[in-house]
Amino acid sequence: MSRVLGQNAQANKGATDLWPHALSWRLICALALWLCLAVLGSVALSGSAWAQERTQQQIYLEDWQNTALRAERAIDSSRASTAAFEQLRKELAEFRQQFQAERSKNTQRIQTLNKQIEALGAAPADGESEPEDIAILRSQLTLQLNQLNVPRIVAEQAFSRADGLVSEVDTIIRERRTRYLLERGPSPLNPELWPAAFETLFRAGRTLWLETRTKIGSDTTIEKIWGGMPDLLALVLLGSFLLFWGRSWARRLGEHLRGLGARGTGLWTFVVSLLQVALPFLGIMLLATALELAGVLGVRATLMLEHLPAWAFILLSFHWLGDQLFKTSREVNLLPLAVVRRGEARLMIDLLAVTLVLQDLLIQLYLLENTGQDTQAVLSFPLILVAALVLYRLHKIGGARSRAPQEERDPEQETRISAGASRVFEVVRRGAFFLGVVAPVLAAIGYINAAEALIYPAIQTLLLLAALFVLQRFAGDLYGFASRQGEAARDSLVLVAIGFTLSLLSLPVLALIWGARVADLTEIWSRFLLGFQIGDTQISPVAFLSFVVVFAIGYGVTRVVQSSLRTSLLPKTNIDPGGQNAIVSGLGYVGVFLAALVAISMAGLDLSSLAIVAGALSVGIGFGLQTIVSNFVSGIILLVERPISKGDWIEVGGLMGYVRDISVRSTRIETFDRSDVIVPNSDLITGTVTNYTRGNTVGRVIVPVGVAYGTDPRRVEAILKEIAQSHPMVLLNPAPSVIFQGFGADSLDFEIRAILRDVNWVLAVKSDLNFEIAKRFAAEDIEIPFAQRDLWIRNPEALVAGRAQEPEPGQDREARGSEGGAAGPDLDDLQASEADGEPDIDR
């Protein structure tokens, strides 16, 4: 019994010992199962996401295929309307933009894979093998690369197709517009067409009047007017007040500011003058709101009311521009025109605004009445004729300036108006004359569309040019106010840059005025952003801008570091000034090179494909610019080796002076007469250069001295040594020496040779020593010899005879010389004999 119990206890103990191990195994199995399920779930989710993305791509490609096929059918048939083609082009442009983005997708990943494949080395040739691991890795990388390249290849093909379809649609639209402009219709001068046109115009006016009268007479309208009478009265009164008195208020305020004459008067006067447009425009909008709230307008009048703000803005802005261009008082105008002609010029500008408003009104009439081509030609011709006459009159007004009497001209005006404004004014004047003649002729013979395409854009171009002139003057006043230069700022270079910028910004507006479509401008802009390709390198404005910004930052950092080194760090070292200048210059060259290198890298420009072209160009440039390259290399050598430095006293090619600047091409030397000499660096490298102050400023001075024969040489030596040693600039170690050079023809020759502390003072020291020598020799009774000569004349009687036979005035001097052979002494008769013991000097 006890044995059985013992066996059971032992069995229970073994089971108890095995339980923790079984539990741990169960936990491990559960954890492994959970991990497997998680991995499978993530794989399933990623697979479903990938499948969903794949499905979306397939749907997008199917939509593209349907759009492309629809576009190709429309292009082939060419029966769709222009509006339909515009909508189709918009859809194609959106697809093209998307494909453009897909073309550059996964670029970084593809580059990484290419580098990984290149790191594996070249693929084995046929019949050769490589290690199995490398072969497996190469195949996996190649498979990934192909999978990433497939979307790019598809996007590239789709982009090319979309771009071609867009070009074809643009061609169709342009051809239709060209045919429309060149289409010839009936002549408006045909009297048979006039009754129908006048009937259409009368019917449109009568219908407008009947609708309005019916609307006003209805009980609903009357009740609405009485119900909103307070609001209507307030709108009408305030609108009328702003319309009729707003401009006068603004004008008086501008005259008041102009009379103050304070700083910035022109700026604030311009700002206040804008109220001449804003206040009446606000009044018209209030009156239009009152009419709309009252409900007194019919359908046609309501449609016309929608265009009233645009018409009011045209009239008010043209009138304001006329006031700005041709002021009433004798102020400086933007355009050269006599004072007596300015009022007429403003009237012509107002008439141009009226023609634009009437032209838009006729367009609305054509749409409402659904008029035919005959009626449109008859109704449009008088308006074209009026606009042409106004342009022709502007031409005559501008030409009257050159034919005006002298007393009617204003010399101050003509001198202060820029030559550029005068040239633009003359071009506009001649263009107005051309259009004033051509447009009516085209309209008369039936080319109404071409005439309208010439005359009305010309008027809008005049408005644009006038606005540019006014804005440029405002920019000049604003710059003068900010820089405290006043009216002098109008002649600054900043104003020229502002005018150029405004001209560039106005080019898209000018293109739209002359018939360009918004799609054309967006196409040009997209082409511009796309850039151009040279080899495998794509150069785009974004890349160029990135290059400029990064290079500018690098260049600025380089200049800051150079300035810090030059002013803060290097002066505290023991480096000589020449070495400091070389370090600063070298750092500048390295900084500019690194800035260019980093900018090219950040811009993503791959210039490896241009290596061959650059090599070929470098050969040609090398032959043509070999002298410049030689000087450049010599400049680098000068900065590195530093045989000469800034501030050195050098002598090269017979020129002597101080080095003031060393650049990469040349060196500037300032001579002792304060003139600058530019020496090419190659001359300093290949030629012989004497540097008097290289390393230190110690130099030698040599002073020659001559004494008369009979003087004690040792006494002279002692005196000269004492003089040399007493000068503060002469070093005593090594001590100065006196050399007895020899026996000259007239003197005993000595030399003082001394080492100076600063060789730059050599001339001053030499002069001081000479002064001291003269003083001491005079005190010591030492004679300094000088040459003497006796002149003997052999025939003095010939001189007297020649003087007595002086020829009379008026006779030829050469003839008298030939007749009187002994008229004067011959040079051969003059002999100089040296006295015994006297020094010889030049004759």
H/E/C letters for each residue in 287-331? HHHHHHHHCCCCHHHHHHHHCHHHHHHHHHHHHHHHHHHCCCCCC
**CB neighbour list of residue 714: distance below 8 Å, 6 or more residues apart:** none
Mean pLDDT of 328-352: 73
Q: DSSP code of 406?
A: G
Span 82-126, pLDDT tens digits: 889 889 988 898 888 888 878 777 777 887 888 888 887 777 777
d(CA 246, CA 244): 6
What are the tokens at 345?
């010029």
pLDDT bracket for residue 833 (50, 70, 90) = very low
Span 9-34, pLDDT tens digits: 443 434 334 333 443 444 444 444 44
Which of 49-53, 604-608, 812-816 holds the top average pLDDT?
A: 604-608
Angle between helices 132-182 and 448-483 (to 10 degrees): 120
Angle between helices 275-294 and 308-325 (to 10 degrees): 160
Quick check: 705 and 785 in contact, CB under 8 A? no
Three-class SS state of 541 = helix
d(CA 215, CA 785): 131
Provide the percentage of residues in the chain whose pLDDT is more than 90: 14
Within 10 angstroms of residue 268's Cβ, the number of other Cβ atoms is 18
Span 137-156, pLDDT tens digits: 888 888 888 888 888 888 88
Three-class SS state of 649 = strand
pLDDT at 494 over 50: yes
Beta-bridge mates of residue 738: 752
Alpha-carbon Rg for the chain, nearest whole angstrom, is 49
At 421 the pLDDT is 60
At 1 the pLDDT is 36
Q: Write phi, then psi, for 830 (nearest 5 degrees).
A: -95, 120
Closest CA to 635 of 595, 592, 585: 585
Q: What is the tally of helices (H) and strands (E) in the chain?
A: 27, 12
Three-class SS state of 749 = strand
Mean pLDDT of 386-404: 75
d(CA 775, CA 43): 111
pLDDT-wise least confident of 8-22, 384-398, 511-525, 614-628: 8-22
What are the tokens at 107?
């670029």
Closest CA to 289 of 232, 214, 229: 232
pLDDT at 503 over 60: yes
d(CA 793, CA 496): 81
Give the torsion through C-alpha atoms of 791, 795, 800, 803, to 10 deg: -80
What are the tokens at 506?
């106005």
At 117 the pLDDT is 82
pLDDT at 253 over 70: yes
Which of 336-345, 515-524, 567-576, 798-807 holds the top average pLDDT?
A: 515-524
Q: What angle is formed at CA 31 by the lines to CA 28 and CA 34, rounded to 5 degrees?
A: 150
Closest CA to 578 of 698, 694, 699: 694
Span 771-828, pLDDT tens digits: 999 999 999 888 888 777 677 777 777 766 666 555 555 554 444 444 444 444 443 4
At 766 the pLDDT is 93
Q: DSSP code of 843?
A: -
At 808 the pLDDT is 55
Q: In Å, how far are 61, 85, 312 from 92, measured between CA atoms?
A: 13, 10, 38
Quick check: 43 and 49 in contact, CB under 8 A? no
Cis peptide, bond prior to residue 734, ω within 30 of zero:
yes
The amino acid sitting at 760 is: N
Q: DSSP code of 823?
A: S
Q: Return the biggest CA–CA distance within the chain.
A: 187
Length of the chain: 843
d(CA 687, CA 643): 12
Give the torsion through C-alpha atoms of 394, 397, 399, 405, to 10 deg: -170
pLDDT-wise least confident of 232-236, 357-361, 683-687, 798-802: 798-802
Q: In Å, how far are 193, 393, 408, 669, 678 from 340, measured between CA atoms?
A: 43, 15, 8, 63, 60
d(CA 474, CA 490): 10
Three-class SS state of 657 = strand
d(CA 510, CA 173): 20
Quick check: 831 and 794 in contact, CB under 8 A? yes
**CB neighbour list of residue 341: distance below 8 Å, 6 or more residues apart:** 326, 397, 400, 401
Percent of residues in the chain assigned helix, strand, coil, to nearest 5:
70, 10, 20
pTM: 0.64
What are the tokens at 590?
């390295």
Quick check: 700 and 690 in contact, CB under 8 A? no
Span 714-745, pLDDT tens digits: 999 999 999 999 999 999 888 999 999 999 88
Closest CA to 460 of 342, 364, 360: 360
pLDDT bracket for residue 614 (50, 70, 90) = low
The amino acid sitting at 442 is: L
* Long-range residue pairs from 69-73, CB within 8 A, at least 24 positions apart, any chain: 71/165, 71/169, 72/165
Q: Which residue has the higher pLDDT, 548 or 343?
A: 548
Q: DSSP code of 730?
A: B
Beta-bridge mates of residue 742: 749
Mean pLDDT of 428-443: 84
Helices (H), 645-795: 681-686, 713-726, 762-779
